[in-house]
Amino acid sequence: LPDEINLVEIERIDLVCEVNNTDHHTLQNGVDSLIVRRGQPFTITLHLQPGTHFQNGDNINFIAQTGPIPSVEAQTKAKFSLSRFISRSSWSATAETSDSTVSLTVCSHPNAPIGVYKLILDQGEGVGLGEFVLLFNPWCKQDSVYLASEAEREEYVLSQDGLIYRGIPKRITVLPWTFGQFEPGILDICLQILDESPNYISDAALDCSERRNPVYVTRVLSAMINSLGDKGVLVGNWSDDHEDGVKPTVWKDSCSILQQWSNDGCRAVRYGQCWVFAAVACTVSRALGIPCRVVTNYGSARDSNGDLVMERFYNEFDENIANDSIWNFHVWVENWMTRPDLALGYEGWQASDPTPQHRSEGVFCCGPAPVRAIKEGELTFKYDIPFVYAEVNADVVEYIKLRDGRVFKMGGSTTEVGKSISTKAVGRDEREDITHNYKYPEGSEEERRVYEKANHHNKLAQAGEEPGFHIKIKVTPDMQIGSDFDVYAELKNNTMVTKSCRVMFYAQAVSYNGKLGETCGLGEFTEMNLAPTEGSKVTLRLEYAEYSKAINQDRMIKLVALLIDAETRDFYRAKKTIILDGPEIIILGVPKVGQNLVADLALQNPLPEPLENCVFTIHGANLTDGKPITHEVGTVGPKEFVTAKVQFTPKLPGQRKILIDFASDKLHNVETYENLVIYE
């Protein structure tokens, strides 16, 4: 055949991973494989057999393909030939030749599906030139995840650790977390998650084609991070029984969860709660190149019937007997992308919630919901906006139901839901309040206008200090676990007559999702008379001996004070959730630059009893070799100091966080972190 003379015979191929991965911001993934971002050129070197010539003309053709059934129509296969210039809007290639080498530059379409690709030289029969992974590209203006700010790309795409906010608005607590999206093997697991989804299993060709769209990929991840209805990563558990798995509060990093899922044949890992689901979703999103951040909403409503009113029925002992619930906090993620499927103006941050609470189009997933649509009350836009809208905006009406069946309306609040919506600030270990992205200021005209638009009627009158009876709970700042302390209920009679009343004041353990536990302090009904405009105070002592048996690892206690007018039988109620301070971990010693670093750890047991099975754990991306380092310290007596030296070896230079955790039989989830700068 005359064509035989033109066949290019290749001796070996160099994918030049180090140079390409550096250019494509994937160097942290390592240099063992070629990992590039879409819409951006990469260059590989072909070493030719002696005597072979490479005719630099348009008769040299290439194929790039992904997925098990590549097709040009589905955009999972691209055919292109050599051209004089790289095009930024389609697959293209250019070549520079010298004696026996060809430097081949290839650029993908900025809207190509992400995934594992084969690159083929097409000369009658295909010659494989190698495999590469193609990711979303926040650095490319044509990519739908383009993020203009370099500082934001550093934080939301490249940063391997972060802070997750929990607690209550008056006492926001910080959980340091290692996302570890560039740790060895993690990207492969993230791609495996896509391949285990029901969408891929039922129609792989369509699923791979849809992977060009970050809206689609985010939705698949929201369903696959939880295990309901598919081979998802994590099982949710909001009970106190975690015998057959790991307590949600024990996890401190995403990699150990993802590795366990993958190594265990895609069996769901036990157990997660909202912040764990969100943190893992953040790792996978960042690994695939979708900018992502973890967001916490305080006073997060779960509206079971979709009327945007949280109706709470209580019995006398403050047990909520309705389906609607308000969690002390709830955590989800936001992903950054354009929304070509919606009107202009709804691009940018999209809320996505991988915690399984709600079926969307038949699947347990939620989002992506444009944050701006939530703010504007546009409940018809895709996806799941009414659900997220209620999480941050529902009104609350409260009723109390007595044993004899009578129901009293006890008032309510329009400001209790959706407060202090928080995420880690860009480039700093500080909290950024993003409530304004989700809602207009409470009580403002716009907020009410949006509220009406979202078909919300029962706005309750805002009350300052009003006539009538008042009850309020006051606490002292020093509420450390292990100590006994007092809390107070203050009563005020703002009426013209002397009132006779009964007061009940009690404390109950509670977990972050509002689930009540055992009672751990009770001031029975006390009879008292209050003269006009007179105030009084009832004290409840919380003793460690009592509350230590009731509280769980969230260290939260709910205080409730009930005031009953002896004459009219009217109820007044005050409540407050408190979080007990854990002990501080003090890090001693200065980390020296060099090979081995030693963290000198010290902590005082705050309890009046010994701690058993004490363990320090440290970990950090590129610091502890991809897995936590544990150090057992045994038993620590009451009020004693415990110290430990833990050695680790940093792998790469740069700013890193070392996360430290202390656990024992009676104290868990005591954590802190330190920023380290590692020099070359």
Domain layout of the chain by residue ranges: 10-135, 150-454, 469-579, 585-678
- In the chain, the amino acid numbered 373 is A
The predicted pLDDT at position 407 comes to 64
Widest CA span in the chain: 113
Cα–Cα distance measured from residue 49 to residue 12, given in angstroms and rounded to the nearest whole number: 8
Burial state string for 200-213 with b = 16 or more CB within 10 A and e = fewer than 16: beeeebebbbbbbb
Quick one: pLDDT at residue 331?
Answer: 93
Nearest to 375 by CA among 396, 393, 354, 348: 393
Instruction: State whether residue 354 is helix, strand or coil.
Output: coil
8 Å CB contact between 484 and 421: no
Per-position DSSP letters for 543-560, written without gaps between them: -HHHHHHH--TT-EEEEE
Tens-place pLDDT, residues 85-99: 999 889 999 999 888
For the cut 60, the answer to whether the pLDDT of residue 324 exceeds it is no
Q: Tell me which CATH code domain 10-135 carries.
A: 2.60.40.10
For residues 101 and 11, the answer to whether their CB atoms sit within 8 Å is no
Q: Active site residue: 24, 25, 109, 330, which one?
A: 330
* Active-site residue, from 143, 207, 253, 353: 353
Give 1's pLDDT tier (boundaries 50, 70, 90). Answer: very low
**CA–CA gap between residue 14 and residue 423 (Å, rounded):** 42
CB 579 within 8 A of CB 571: no
Catalytic residue among 190, 274, 282, 520: 274
The DSSP output letter for 457 is -
* 393 marked ligand binding residue: yes
* Predicted confidence (pLDDT) at residue 447 exceeds the cutoff of 90: no
pLDDT above 80 (res 177):
yes
Distance CA 444, CA 374 (A): 16
CATH class of 585-678: mainly beta
Q: Please, are residues 615 and 632 in contact by the beta-carbon 8 Å criterion?
A: yes
Higher pLDDT, residue 250 or 567? 250
The predicted pLDDT at position 461 comes to: 29
490 is in an annotated binding site: no
- pLDDT > 90? residue 257: yes
Mean per-residue pLDDT, 624-633: 89
CATH 3.60.10.10 describes domain 469-579: no
Quickly tell me which residue has 């494509």 as its tokens. 24
Q: Is the pLDDT of residue 310 over 80?
A: no
Query: Is 596 annotated for ligand binding?
Result: no
The pLDDT score that the predictor gives to residue 643 is: 87
Query: What pLDDT, in 10s, does the model give residues 225-241?
Result: 998 878 999 998 888 78
Per-residue pLDDT band for 590 (boundaries 50, 70, 90) equals low
pLDDT exceeds 80 at position 462? no
What sign does the dihedral 423-424-425-427 (CA atoms) show?
Answer: negative
pLDDT at 458 over 80: no
More confident residue, 324 or 151: 151
Q: Is 472 helix (H, G, I), strand (E, B) or coil?
A: strand
What percentage of the chain reaches a pLDDT higher than 70?
88
Instruction: Count the residues in the chain.
Output: 680
Q: Alpha-carbon distance 610 to 642, whole Å? A: 11
Pick one of 3.20.20.70, 3.40.50.300, 3.40.50.2300, 3.90.260.10 as the CATH number of 150-454. Answer: 3.90.260.10
Nearest to 616 by CA among 274, 277, 252, 254: 252
Q: If you average pLDDT over every residue of the chain, what do you get?
A: 86
pLDDT reported for residue 459: 30
- Percent of the chain clearing pLDDT 90 (strictly above): 50
pLDDT at 456 over 50: no
pLDDT of 182: 97
Residue 337, H or E segment: strand 325-337
585-678 matches 150-454 in CATH topology: no
- Going along 511-627, which residue ranges are E strands? 516-530, 535-542, 556-565, 571-579, 585-588, 597-604, 611-619
pLDDT-derived band at 179 (thresholds 50, 70, 90) equals very high
Residue 125 has pLDDT above 60, yes or no: yes
- Contact between residue 292 and residue 352 where contact means Cβ atoms under 8 Å apart: no
Q: How far apart are CA 576 and CA 560, in angstroms?
A: 7
Instruction: Establish whether 395 is an annotated binding residue.
Output: yes
Per residue in 564-583, pLDDT tens?
A: 887 877 778 889 999 988 88
Is 486 annotated in the active site? Answer: no
Based on the residue annotation, tell me whether 330 is a catalytic residue of this protein: yes
Q: What is the pLDDT of residue 444?
A: 78
- pLDDT tens per residue, range 603-621: 889 899 999 999 999 999 8
pLDDT of residue 67: 96
Whether 594 has a pLDDT exceeding 80, the answer reads no
Type of residue found at 580: L
pLDDT in tens, 531-563: 887 888 999 999 988 998 888 888 999 999 988
Cβ–Cβ < 8 Å for 637, 218: no
List % helix, strand, coil for the chain (3-state, nearest 5).
Answer: 20, 40, 40
> What are phi and psi for residue 128, nearest 5 degrees?
-70, 130
Q: Which of 188-192, 492-496, 671-675 has the lowest mean pLDDT?
A: 492-496
Mean pLDDT of 502-512: 88
How many Å is the Cα radius of gyration of the chain? 29
Other beta carbons within 10 Å of 52: 16
- Tell me what pLDDT residue 311 has: 60
pLDDT at 591 over 90: no
Q: What is the pLDDT of residue 450?
A: 74
**pLDDT tens digits, 376-420:** 888 788 888 877 877 887 666 666 666 666 666 555 566 677 889
d(CA 215, CA 285): 11
Please report which confidence band the pLDDT of residue 315 belongs to, taking 50, 70 and 90 as the band edges.
low
Q: Higher-confidence residue: 582 or 283?
A: 283
Identify the three-state secondary structure at position 125.
strand
Contact assessment for residue 659 and residue 161, using Cβ atoms and an 8 Å cutoff? yes
- Per the listing, tokens 């992308």 go with 337
399-403, 434-438, 449-453, range with greatest mean pLDDT: 434-438
pLDDT of residue 624: 86
**Of 515, 499, 516, which Cα lies nearest the Cα of 507?**
516
- Predicted local distance difference test score (pLDDT) of residue 521: 87
pLDDT given for residue 585 in this prediction: 77
pLDDT of residue 426: 97
The answer to whether 429 is a known catalytic residue is no
Is the pLDDT reported for residue 161 higher than 50?
yes
Least confident window among 199-208, 301-310, 324-333, 441-450: 301-310
Q: How far apart are the first and last CA of the chain?
A: 58
| Three-state secondary structure call for residue 18 | helix
Amino acid 239: pLDDT: 81
Determine the average pLDDT of the residues in 139-145.
97
Q: Is the pLDDT of residue 57 over 70?
A: no
Q: What is the pLDDT of residues 182-240, one digit of tens each?
A: 999 999 999 999 999 999 999 999 999 999 999 999 999 999 999 887 899 999 888 87
